[in-house]
Amino acid sequence: MTSYRIGSSGDDVMLIQKALQDAGFYQSQPDGVFGPNTDAAVRNFQAASGLGGDGIVGPATWAKLFPSQSPAPAPLSGSLDTRCLALTGSFETGRLSPDCFACVAGNFDGQGMSFGALQWNFGQGTLQPLLKQMFTNHVDVATTVFGSNLSRLQEAVHGGRDSAMSFAVSIQDTSGKSIKDPWKQMFRALGLTPEYQAIEVSSAAAYYGRALSLCKDYGLWTQRGRALMFDISVQNGSIPDSVRSLILADFRQVSPSLSAEDTELAKMRIVANRRAEAARPAFVEDVRRRKLCIAEGKGVVHGITYDLARQFGLDLESAD
């Protein structure tokens, strides 16, 4: 379903404001614009309702505000590469779009901190280029998000790996797994901006290019086929030649009487199973579950229920 946060606007936001007003949490005149006053009201309502307080009106908060209603689901819009990244990013972070673009984690893996849909990080030097691009192309947005803290972040990012790693250590708790506020909230706000999300999509272009080549090589032509190969590119890197031989042999057993869509589905299932079986033993079933979720269009991965058509607009339609 659609979620609502600072920057959202429209009739649904107006309904949220009125519901918050009726509940005694919103004192301003409802105007359909999700600003700081609405954010504060939502956080207070969430705290009072036992929902935590992230300021985002998602399914749980909406259900509390409107116990007899549910918002109409809206598939993620945008280009196909954006939707493929959002899906794989949700697998990688355990958070649906758009939250996957804004996921920030501490030094749990020795990489200083990780941020974004594909968890770009300081340790491997993959996060610095994204932030530098933001500073160069959208410094106004970065200033709005980080305020007086921006210069410190810029110095850390431009100072080399050691500087970035030291900065990351300085902004997380003693466990080394979580970034402390206000930095956690600032990075989250950055990841929710259209400008930074576009940088994430651009930075994942190499994976998407590899997915295009794999789709051509294996004759997959649908949006879900593209998403499957993108996910393989990110999680698994590629399809080894030995696995390719097995896949192509299985393809020859697919009935020629099937429709184009059923043939595509059969081929995706083959790719999903064969690539999973080639993973390290401890990860075979996890890879299989993730890949079959894409092939089938539905499934449960890491406790999250997926419906690719409804949530991501990914279906058995042509990718071109």
Structural domain of 45:
11-65
**Residue reference for tokens 């600003």:** 35
Within a domain: residue 91? no
Domain termination residue (choose one: 186, 203, 220): 203
**Tokens standing for 14?**
């107006």
Choice between 50 and 149, residue whose per-residue pLDDT is larger: 149
| pLDDT tens-digit readout, 81-115 | 999 999 999 999 998 888 899 999 999 889 999 99
Within a domain: residue 3? no
Domain termination residue (choose one: 162, 188, 203): 203
- Over residues 151-159, the mean pLDDT reads 97
Q: Which of 98, 68, 71 lies closest to 86, judged by CA? A: 98
Q: How confident is the model at residue 177, as a pLDDT?
A: 79
Contacts of 272 by beta carbon, 8 Å cutoff, 6+ apart: 228, 288, 291, 292, 294, 295
| pLDDT tens-digit readout, 172-224 | 988 877 899 899 989 999 998 999 999 999 999 999 999 999 999 999 999 99
pLDDT band at 53 (very low <50, low <70, confident <90, very high): confident
At residue 125, what is the residue type? G
Instruction: Looking at the structure, tell me whether residues 190 and 228 fall in a common domain.
Output: no
Instruction: Looking at the structure, tell me whether residues 152 and 178 fall in a common domain.
Output: yes
Domain termination residue (choose one: 150, 180, 203): 203
Instruction: Looking at the structure, tell me whether residues 211 and 191 fall in a common domain.
Output: no
Instruction: Looking at the structure, tell me whether residues 147 and 176 fall in a common domain.
Output: yes
Starting at the earlier edge strand, list the strands of the sheet with 120-121. 104-105, 114-115, 120-121
**Tokens standing for 188?**
């989250």
pLDDT band at 58 (very low <50, low <70, confident <90, very high): confident
**Tokens standing for 315?**
């279906």
Q: How confident is the model at residue 71, as a pLDDT?
A: 53
Instruction: Looking at the structure, tell me whether residues 209 and 307 fall in a common domain.
Output: yes
Phi then psi dihedrals of residue 69, to 5 deg: -130, 170
DSSP string, 20-81: HHHTT---S---SB--HHHHHHHHHHHHHTTS---S-B-HHHHHHH-TT--PPP----S-HH
Instruction: Looking at the structure, tell me whether residues 166 and 215 fall in a common domain.
Output: no
Within a domain: residue 234? yes
Query: Under DSSP, is residue 115 helix (H, G, I), strand (E, B) or coil?
Result: strand
Choice between 98 and 128, residue whose per-residue pLDDT is larger: 128
pLDDT band at 127 (very low <50, low <70, confident <90, very high): very high
Structural domains counted in the chain: 3
Instruction: Looking at the structure, tell me whether residues 185 and 254 fall in a common domain.
Output: no
